[in-house]
């Protein structure tokens, strides 16, 4: 059986300075390994630096809180009251990032309770699973579709003319988005489409240029399913 490194006395759980340091160092090292795995596997478009700092320090903070509270009910209620006055404001994160946060919280809890072996085993297995799933691209798949972004001036806007060109050059197309910009003087269209075999992309774009007055045209390839 794997037991806690903390000793238990008649007055509660006793935490000595060496065990306190061991728990903190374990939490920080496992948090660091978690951050390194995250940096290896992340595909976010934003800088991962601040989030990586969080992954390293969060398990340490949680471990310290758990050790300081221990089995003291009064401390637990005091801590809950202190945290109730804090308001967190953040945008919803990527599901994978939320998983990493939950993992670091579990590491901090296990370390704070003194179950160092449990923390190491759980972190090792879960991080290996994350690396393996990232290597095999588990759950992801590429598509041969393209994403067309087309800007059309208001005086030239003719959806039927644009879609007539799409019918000529593509096997299928779907209008994904339409919006106005520049106080309504421009229309931005986004189509998900699949080009016909043997069709020339340049000829396709040249045909579109006659319908949008030589404004912006962009084609995105190698889409991932969750990018559109």
Q: Residue 74: CB partners within 8 Å, gap ≥ 6?
A: none
At 176, list the tokens: 């994904």
Whole-number pLDDT of residue 34: 94
- Give the 3-state secondary structure of 30-48: HHHHHHHHHHHHCCCCCCC
* Per-residue pLDDT tens over the stretch 1-40: 566 676 655 455 567 888 889 999 999 999 999 999 998 8
Query: Which ranges constitute the DSSP H helices of the chain?
Result: 17-41, 49-69, 73-84, 95-112, 116-135, 159-169, 201-212
At 20, list the tokens: 């306190």
- Residue 112 phi/psi, 5-degree rounding, is -65, -30
* Per-residue pLDDT tens over the stretch 52-69: 898 999 999 999 888 888
Whole-number pLDDT of residue 163: 87
| pTM check: above 0.85 | no
CA 191 to the chain's CA centroid:
26
> Distance (Å, rounded) from C-alpha 200 to C-alpha 218?
15
Whole-number pLDDT of residue 154: 82
Q: What is the CA radius of gyration of the chain?
A: 27
* Contact criterion met (CB below 8 Å) for 111 and 23: yes
CA 184 to the chain's CA centroid:
34
Residue 7's region, left for phi above 0, alpha for psi from -120 to 50, else beta, is: beta
At 2, list the tokens: 């794997």
Per-residue pLDDT averaged across 116-130, rounded? 94
End-to-end CA distance of the chain: 49
Q: Which residues are registered as beta bridge partners of 149?
A: 190, 218
> Distance (Å, rounded) from C-alpha 19 to C-alpha 48?
32
Residue 103's pLDDT band (cuts 50, 70, 90): very high
> Distance (Å, rounded) from C-alpha 103 to C-alpha 86?
23
Nearest to 103 by CA among 79, 80, 76, 130: 130
């Amino acid at each position: 059986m794997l037991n806690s490194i903390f000793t238990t006395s008649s007055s509660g759980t006793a935490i000595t300075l060496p065990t306190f340091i061991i728990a903190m160092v374990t939490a920080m090292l496992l948090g660091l390994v978690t951050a390194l795995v995250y940096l290896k596997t992340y595909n976010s478009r934003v800088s991962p630096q601040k989030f990586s700092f969080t992954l390293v320090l969060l398990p340490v903070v949680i471990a310290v809180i758990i050790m300081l509270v221990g089995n003291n009910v009064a401390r637990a209620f005091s801590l809950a009251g202190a945290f109730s006055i804090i308001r967190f404001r953040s945008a919803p994160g990527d599901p994978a990032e939320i998983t990493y946060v939950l993992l670091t919280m579990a590491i901090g809890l296990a370390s704070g309770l003194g179950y160092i072996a449990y923390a190491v085993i759980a972190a090792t297995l879960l991080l290996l699973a994350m690396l393996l799933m990232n290597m095999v691209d588990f759950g992801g798949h590429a598509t041969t579709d393209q994403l067309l972004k087309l800007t059309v001036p208001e005086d030239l806007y003719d959806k039927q003319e644009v879609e007539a060109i799409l019918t000529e050059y593509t096997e299928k197309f779907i209008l994904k988005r339409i919006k106005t910009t520049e106080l309504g003087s421009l229309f931005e269209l986004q189509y998900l489409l699949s080009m016909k075999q043997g069709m020339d992309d340049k000829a396709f774009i040249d045909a579109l240029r006659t319908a949008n007055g030589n404004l912006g045209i962009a084609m995105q390839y190698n889409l991932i399913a969750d990018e559109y």
